[in-house]
Amino acid sequence: MKQLVPVVLATCLCHAVQSQTTTIRFEGLNNPKYSKNYLVDLEGRKFLSSKTPAKGAADVGTININYLSLGTHEFTVYAINENSDVSSKAKNPIYSSKFQLRPGYDVVIAIRGNGDVAMIEKRTNQEAAGSASGEHGESIRQPMSMERFSSLFRLMKEQEQGPGRSYMLSEALDVSTNYFTIFQITSLLSLIQPESDRLSLSKKTFTHLVEGANTSSLLELFTIKENIDDLRNHIEANKE
């Protein structure tokens, strides 16, 4: 087993993830005419209008996502209570759809204050296409492609429940350039038993997540109160 794991991880690192930019756009955030808050669930990644600062006179808050692979993606929009957070159980979606990310095009998902949702596809800036850096030159974290993630998930699942699975995930997290979406890491952690092992590995994931704002979703993986409190304290202590 110890000979197989590094080969799998090396394979995951050798393939760049081809991606475009998906923008979630919340409009009318501070307009008293609209009192609702909205949550967007993008394949397990959760984004709140109440946590998205509005900028400029247009009263618009935006979230730019640079790590989605090309292809089809699903998202759902919920109207939620003012005090809800990303770990809250949202019900009764107001909108659900799919969109296609394709080379040379970005996608904008606009949620207006009245609950209307629009999707807009636009051409990318060709000079910036293929860039692996942010607007200030910083490196953008890219998660494992779904193909490589699926391979790791399958190999872990083939192991008997116990130390083998924990070892494989720990090895993946020991590679500093391995990054995961919250959907990917929660899927891998769900294979780990007992909860004590899952807790220690959950704490190890924080430097490997491309979406730190959604770390509270990890709390849903636990049923023992002491473990939930321990991880919640760890999340609070490691907020960026």
Helix (H) or strand (E) holding 48: strand 45-48
61: CB partners within 8 A, 6+ apart: 25, 26, 29, 49, 52, 53, 54, 55
Token readout for 15 is 């393939």
pLDDT of residue 169: 92
pLDDT of residue 147: 81
**Side-chain half-sphere exposure of 179, counting CA atoms within 13 A:** 17
**Side-chain half-sphere exposure of 79, counting CA atoms within 13 A:** 12
pTM of the predicted structure, to 2 decimals: 0.54
Regions of the chain with pLDDT less than 50: 1-18, 126-138
Measured CA to CA, the distance from residue 233 to residue 99 in angstroms comes to 37
Query: Rg for the chain (alpha carbons), in Å?
Result: 19
pLDDT of residue 194: 93
pLDDT of residue 144: 84
42: CB partners within 8 A, 6+ apart: 22, 24, 65, 73, 74, 75
Among candidate residues 58, 9, 35, the one with its CA nearest the CA of residue 176: 9
Domains in the chain and their CATH numbers?
4-15+142-237 (no CATH), 22-123 (2.60.40)
pLDDT of residue 224: 95
pLDDT of residue 186: 92
Tokens 């197989």 found at: 4
